[in-house]
A and B are shown apart, each in its own frame.
Chain A
């Protein structure tokens, strides 16, 4: 049971976003630019970073949905996503992405753990300043999204098929468009004070 009344039809962050559309807007805008905006890191690579950090934070909803989005971007390669979660050093990803995942793993614990040597290692493998910046911010942002989802006690379904299906849609349409379907209607309900998900 969530700690506050969230729509039972909207698991994970979706219920929280529908509850408070005013904060949902910038939360969605941030994830949209970080994960789908123009970048020299592929969408699949960025989703792997988000999945890895969410997995480290043990947030089932986030590592499942972002793992599914990553897989959708990576030709359906769910085994690769699982390998990154379990031990990315053994995964079939580029040496550059491994160096960025190392930085992300440190940010997940504490930003101060990132050393000049970590950054040098990534740079030697071709990482740009912008890629290092975005890696740090993706890792930091998922420390927020994960805590938000867990801290409200949201519903986090076990059904893998549910994530697989939605992951494909988010990979295709992006975050803002996919969330519009519940944010638009729930925004009215929230402003009217009737947040009960009964629609």
Chain B
């Protein structure tokens, strides 16, 4: 049961977005710029950062939908699971590992990010914009995750729904809703 009267059949953040379009608009735009627009980090890498942070925040809806988007971009569902379980052992670049280490600290508290963490990322080739975007993706998902959980939204256990969402997010980005009508799943 959601804490407020959210539109029925809309899972996760789509319920909050449908309930309050005025706040949905900038939130969608932020996700679109961070995760979908051209960047020297690939969309797959950025979705992995979002998935990792959402997993650390234990937000089922966000880690499932962004995990599905990452998997779509990368054509590899196993790597998504590995990043969630232990990114240091995952088959991703040393640069992405260094950025995930920064994201993991931001997830707890931005003040934990040390000069050494940033130096390590830079030594693997990370640019200032990439470091900036990693910090902001991690911070933004601390918002999205809390929003989705704090409203008590419906977060169905339905792999097929997340796969469909993931494909939409990977193809179209975040400007338009990936859930346009009530979903009929238990």
> For residue A147, which residues in chain B have a CB less than 8 angstroms away from its CB?
106-107, 109-110, 135, 138-139, 142
> For residue A23, which residues in chain B have a CB less than 8 angstroms away from its CB?
30, 33-34, 133, 136
CA distance A153 to B19 in the complex (A): 35
> For residue B16, which residues in chain A have a CB less than 8 angstroms away from its CB?
133, 137
Asked if B51 is at the interface (CB within 8 A of a chain A CB), the reply is: no
Of the candidates A1, A5, A108, A136, the one whose C-beta lies within 8 Å of that of B151 is: A136
Asked if A91 is at the interface (CB within 8 A of a chain B CB), the reply is: no
- In the complex, the answer to whether A111 meets B147 with C-beta atoms within 8 Å is yes
What is the distance, in angstroms, from A52's C-beta to the closest C-beta of chain B?
15
What is the distance, in angstroms, from A118's C-beta to the closest C-beta of chain B?
8
Of the candidates B33, B102, B138, B146, the one whose C-beta lies within 8 Å of that of A140 is: B146
Contact with B along A32-64 (1 / 0, CB 8 A): 011001000000000000000000011100000
> For residue B59, which residues in chain A have a CB less than 8 angstroms away from its CB?
111
> For residue B139, which residues in chain A have a CB less than 8 angstroms away from its CB?
143-148, 151
- In the complex, the answer to whether A151 meets B5 with C-beta atoms within 8 Å is no
Number of interface residues of A (CB under 8 A): 52
> For residue B91, which residues in chain A have a CB less than 8 angstroms away from its CB?
none
> For residue B132, which residues in chain A have a CB less than 8 angstroms away from its CB?
4, 16, 19-20, 152
Asked if A10 is at the interface (CB within 8 A of a chain B CB), the reply is: no
Interface band, chain B:
35 or more
Q: Which residue of A lies closest to B145 (CB)?
A: A111
Asked if A198 is at the interface (CB within 8 A of a chain B CB), the reply is: no
Contact with B along A99-128 (1 / 0, CB 8 A): 000010011101110101001000000000
- In the complex, the answer to whether A119 meets B3 with C-beta atoms within 8 Å is yes
What is the distance, in angstroms, from A130's C-beta to the closest C-beta of chain B?
7
- In the complex, the answer to whether A150 meets B111 with C-beta atoms within 8 Å is yes
Known: A22-B33, A147-B138, A151-B113. A110 touches B146 (CB 8 A): yes
The 6 closest A-B pairs by CB, nearest first: A150-B110, A111-B149, A111-B150, A151-B110, A144-B143, A140-B146
> Which A residues have a C-beta under 8 Å from some C-beta of B?
1, 3-5, 16, 19-20, 22-23, 25-27, 29-30, 33-34, 37, 57-59, 103, 106-108, 110-112, 114, 116, 119, 129-130, 132-134, 136-137, 139-141, 143-153, 195
> Which B residues have a C-beta under 8 Å from some C-beta of A?
1, 3-5, 16, 19-20, 22-23, 25-27, 29-30, 33-34, 37, 57-59, 102, 105-107, 109-111, 113, 115, 118, 128-129, 131-133, 135-136, 138-140, 142-152
* Other A-B pairs, 6, CB within 8 Å; known A137-B16, A139-B146: A23-B133, A29-B25, A136-B147, A143-B139, A148-B135, A152-B110
Q: List 26 A-B contacts (CB under 8 A).
A: A3-B118, A3-B131, A19-B128, A22-B33, A33-B22, A37-B22, A111-B59, A111-B146, A111-B150, A112-B149, A112-B150, A116-B1, A116-B3, A132-B3, A133-B4, A133-B16, A140-B142, A140-B143, A141-B143, A143-B142, A144-B142, A145-B139, A147-B135, A148-B135, A148-B136, A148-B139
